């Protein structure tokens, strides 16, 4: 019989951390905490396999599940000395989700399940605290009605707000037992009115409703969006954790909180988090009450007058500190924990690896090595390569003039500038239209996930350091200022107000998530300095990785930036980008419009010194590192005007009539230019273009060598399908080289290679390697030509593919392993059969994608090439790929 339910608690557990895929992260860690003797309320986990079964079988459960759940509930009751539904000694439980990777706030939770008109009397008698009992009941009715029954939470919030207003109190804690009893009755009236049936008072119905709601929440829109953004497969499913309730709202000796064993923003080693006395868990993250700091240090840094847990509950603080250290030593990782103190007893409700900023991830990884908890190889694997983007972009210039608008908590570091917008939908829409936006909300909710991802930064009026906005922003690498207490947002008028200062939608603001400040207008930025922890981790990564990391650079500035980030060469220098600068475009257009070879060569002669000068500067910057220069690739019509207003100016520059210019442009127009007259095809039709570019490269190399510098020049021929094309252009290059040797008495060392960007070239790689000395996969075009998809038009429907679970990743972001990946493996193998020492790499933005880099390591490529700011990402991803053990299944 299949085991669908795993129990934990009371120093025992059926599972452990190795069963993460089956039990989910939360269930596996609850089992692990139980086994090492930490105070964990007993409970059980319904496995992720039930979720998979649930969706594969029309929302039905396996037949054995009911009996296994009943047995687990009975065991949990025995451990707690209570029983679900017992009017005298009732057991209350929580029902929570738990996927194998953390998805904070994306799925549903139900607390206080098991309360009914009968059991609440038992709770009152057992605790002697009617206010606590009715507070728990009204929370349960509200949460269950929203999560399980689908009644909007705002219906209940309005009743609660009116009750507080009528009583003249600001916080829920100002309401007494009679108030809460009346509110609960009104909540139930709302449910009956909305649904036409009463709120369920049968505890078994409540339990299965809660379990079903958690499984159902796996496929809600916000969870699907989160999975798509974080590349989490939809078929993983979630587990459900049912756990005995412990209560932080049982008076002044009770509390609830969230803590990190190290600061998630900086990585500093101290307990960092928030707690509330006489509260339940959702109060801390919802922003309804102002949470208090765990430590005195953080309280003082935040300038808060509210006492920290260290000061108000010193004994509980010491216990929590000790448990945090135990967990770090056990898991050998920074932890994020949820806890509840019930009448002076500390209970641990959850632990997981703490989400953190890139800066914190670097510090924590290096400190754990120093503390001898992990080795360098493990440290390198602990930092998400993509998260390094947070460190590689500008921050606010401290010397720049600023006009402060408001301030709050420094919830997620970094800085951003954008137009203020007040809804997630508007943020997403404007971002898609090319606007940079800052999402401003009273508080964010999981439904805002797409807008938060689209925004450059996030500001909230309510919420603390562990609020939804703060946690999600840190995970996404977005700067966030949370809990700006004096900020008022008017959604109808699309504006926000601080005092007498109004900011309307569309007006620009700047936020500093590292300082927790919002400024009016634009504030100047400055480039980051990458030192200390960053350099240490990068040095470890460089010791481990096998792949070389090159960059795509078309200018000396790009080349310098890439070298400062550790690039070992240029894998793609696109010569056509140089043609658009200054007066060069005039000569380029004259070359295109020439009626004879002689006219074309005259125009090319004017371009030659410009191209040669460009290459000289790049060779100087790279100082002996490889520079792979791609010959002209795009079709010629891209250099001609496309609008009527431009034709007259261009015609005048070229010395021809507007009519003739339009005629020439029409002749060059192509129905499908991506597969048209471009790349090596241009060089075959106009050999003089390839000859000029080859001369510019080789003469530049000679000139820089004459200055005493080393040069490693490599000429790459694009869009090759047949070996005859490659040979034709290679002959032109070699002929020019012979002429230069005759003229100057020597030649620089250089190589001739080709881009593999067509399926035919990949399949014929063995023959191409007879001429080509290196290969570079142009994975953008190879993806287009293999999948038959235009990258310029595919965005909308590929997103739909991901939403519907047809694709986990966009193939233009991560290489399609089964199709494009197999062609890369075939070409590499066949090329090296002909030329065993052949260097082979990829260029394009796939070269900065960790998943694609893993593929390159797997198939044995030599290098990857990416944009300058992705170089550190690629260095770290290459090290992580080198540490993985692969089966050659690509």
| Residues with active-site annotation | 468, 843
Contact 172, 288 (CB under 8 A): yes
Best CA proximity match to 593, nearest among 695, 677, 668: 668
- What six digits make up the tokens of 391? 């460190």
Q: Strand 750-756 relative to strand 712-717: parallel, antiparallel, unpaired?
A: parallel
Beta bridge partners of 9: 12
CA distance linking residue 706 with residue 700, whole number of Å? 10
CA distance linking residue 847 with residue 813, whole number of Å? 10
Residues in Cβ contact with 559 at an 8 Å cutoff, skipping those fewer than 6 apart: 551, 553, 567, 570, 618, 621, 622
Best CA proximity match to 325, nearest among 407, 258, 269: 269
Best CA proximity match to 748, nearest among 708, 791, 700, 781: 700
Tell me the backbone φ, ψ of residue 818, rounded to 5 degrees. -75, -30
Beta bridge partners of 339: 257, 348
CA distance linking residue 646 with residue 658, whole number of Å? 10
Outline where 455-583 has alpha helix (H). 468-476, 533-544, 556-564, 575-578
Place of tokens 């949370």: 482
CA distance linking residue 358 with residue 388, whole number of Å? 6
Number of H helices and E strands in the chain, helices first, is: 35, 32
Beta bridge partners of 412: 480
Q: Give 733-757 as a DSSP string.
A: HHHHHHHHHHHHS----EEEEEEE-
Place of tokens 């106009």: 686
Outline where 764-889 has alpha helix (H). 765-768, 779-787, 795-803, 822-834, 850-859, 871-883
Angle at 554 between CA 553 and CA 556, to 5 degrees: 85
Place of tokens 């079964």: 53
Q: Strand 863-866 relative to strand 839-843: parallel, antiparallel, unpaired?
A: parallel
Tell me the backbone φ, ψ of residue 189, rounded to 5 degrees. -60, -40
């Amino acid at each position: 019989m299949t085991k669908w339910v795993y129990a934990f608690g009371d120093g025992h557990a059926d599972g452990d951390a190795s069963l993460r895929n089956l039990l989910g992260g939360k269930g596996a860690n609850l089992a692990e905490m139980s086994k090492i003797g930490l105070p964990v309320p007993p409970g059980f986990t319904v496995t992720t396999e039930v979720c998979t079964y649930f969706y594969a079988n029309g929302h039905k459960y396996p037949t054995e599940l009911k009996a296994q759940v009943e047995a687990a509930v009975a065991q949990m009751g025995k451990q707690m000395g209570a029983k679900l539904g017992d009017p005298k000694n009732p057991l209350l439980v929580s029902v929570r989700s738990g996927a194998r990777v953390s998805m904070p706030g994306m799925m549903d939770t139900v607390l206080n399940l098991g309360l009914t008109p009968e059991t609440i009397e038992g709770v009152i008698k057992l605790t002697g605290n009617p206010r606590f009992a009715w507070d728990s009941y009204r929370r349960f009715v509200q949460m269950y009605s929203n999560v399980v029954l689908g009644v909007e939470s705002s219906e209940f919030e309005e009743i609660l707000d009116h009750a507080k207003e009528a009583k003249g109190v600001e916080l829920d804690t100002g309401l007494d037992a009679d108030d809460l009893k009346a509110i609960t009755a009104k909540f139930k009236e709302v449910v009956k009115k909305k649904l036409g049936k009463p709120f369920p008072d049968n505890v078994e119905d409540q339990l299965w409703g809660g379990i079903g709601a958690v499984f159902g929440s796996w496929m809600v829109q916000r969870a699907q969006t989160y999975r798509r953004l974080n590349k989490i497969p939809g078929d993983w499913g979630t587990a459900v954790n049912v756990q005995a309730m412990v209560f932080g709202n049982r008076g002044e000796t009770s509390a609830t909180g969230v803590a990190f064993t190290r600061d998630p923003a900086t990585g500093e080693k101290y307990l960092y988090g928030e707690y509330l006395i006489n509260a339940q868990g959702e109060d801390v993250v919802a922003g309804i009450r102002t949470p208090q700091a765990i430590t005195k240090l953080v309280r003082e840094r935040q300038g808060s007058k509210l006492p920290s847990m260290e000061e108000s509950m010193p004994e509980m603080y010491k216990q929590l500190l000790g448990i945090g250290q135990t967990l770090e030593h056990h898991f050998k990782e920074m932890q994020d924990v949820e806890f509840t103190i019930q009448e002076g007893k500390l209970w641990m409700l959850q632990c997981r690896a703490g989400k953190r900023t890139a800066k914190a991830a670097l510090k924590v990884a290096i400190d754990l090595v120093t503390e001898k908890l992990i080795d360098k190889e493990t440290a390198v694997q602990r930092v998400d390569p993509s998260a390094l983007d947070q460190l590689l972009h500008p921050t606010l210039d401290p010397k720049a003039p600023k006009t402060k608008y408001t301030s709050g908590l420094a919830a997620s570091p970094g800085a951003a500038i954008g137009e203020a917008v007040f809804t997630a939908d508007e943020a997403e829409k404007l971002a898609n239209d090319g606007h940079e936006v800052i999402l401003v909300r009273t508080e964010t909710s999981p439904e805002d996930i797409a807008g938060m991802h689209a925004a450059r930064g996030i500001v909230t009026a309510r919420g603390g350091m562990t609020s939804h906005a703060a946690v999600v922003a840190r995970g996404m690498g977005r700067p966030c200022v949370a809990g700006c207490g004096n900020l008022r947002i008017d959604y109808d008028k699309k504006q926000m107000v601080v005092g007498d200062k109004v900011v309307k939608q569309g007006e620009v603001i700047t936020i500093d998530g590292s300082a927790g400040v919002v400024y009016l207008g634009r504030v100047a930025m400055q480039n980051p300095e990458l030192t200390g922890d960053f350099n240490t981790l990068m040095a470890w990564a460089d010791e481990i990785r096998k792949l070389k990391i090159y960059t795509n650079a078309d200018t000396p500035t790009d080349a310098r930036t890439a070298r400062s980030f550790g690039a070992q060469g240029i894998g793609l220098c696109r010569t056509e980008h140089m043609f658009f600068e200054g007066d060069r475009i005039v000569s380029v257009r004259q070359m295109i419009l020439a009626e004879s070879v002689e006219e074309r060569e005259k125009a090319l002669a004017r371009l030659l010194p410009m191209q040669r000068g460009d290459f000289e500067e790049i060779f100087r910057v790279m100082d002996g590192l490889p520079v792979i220069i791609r010959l002209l690739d795009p079709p010629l019509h891209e250099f001609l005007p496309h609008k009527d207003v431009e034709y007259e100016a261009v015609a005048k520059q070229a010395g021809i009539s507007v009519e003739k210019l339009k005629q020439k442009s029409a002749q060059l127009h192509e129905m499908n230019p991506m597969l048209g007259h471009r790349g090596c095809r241009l060089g075959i039709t106009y050999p003089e273009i390839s000859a000029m570019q080859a001369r510019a490269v080789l003469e530049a190399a000679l000139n820089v060598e004459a200055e005493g510098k080393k040069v490693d020049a490599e000429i790459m021929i694009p869009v090759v399908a047949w070996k005859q094309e490659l040979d034709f252009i290679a002959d032109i290059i070699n002929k020019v080289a012979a002429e230069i040797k005759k003229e100057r008495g020597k030649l620089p060392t250089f190589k001739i290679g080709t881009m593999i960007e067509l399926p035919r070239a990949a399949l014929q790689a063995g023959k191409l390697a007879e001429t080509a000395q290196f290969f570079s996969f142009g994975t953008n075009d190879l993806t287009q030509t293999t999948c038959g998809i235009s990258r310029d038009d595919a965005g909308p429907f590929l997103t739909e593919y991901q939403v519907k679970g047809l694709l986990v990743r966009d193939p233009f972001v991560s290489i399609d392993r089964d199709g494009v990946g197999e062609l890369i493996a075939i070409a590499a193998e066949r090329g090296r059969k002909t030329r065993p020492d052949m260097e082979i790499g990829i260029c394009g933005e796939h070269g900065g994608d960790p998943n694609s880099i893993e593929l390159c390591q797997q198939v044995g490529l030599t290098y990857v090439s990416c944009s300058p700011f992705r170089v550190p990402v690629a260095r770290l991803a290459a090290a992580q790929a080198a540490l993985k053990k692969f089966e050659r299944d690509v």
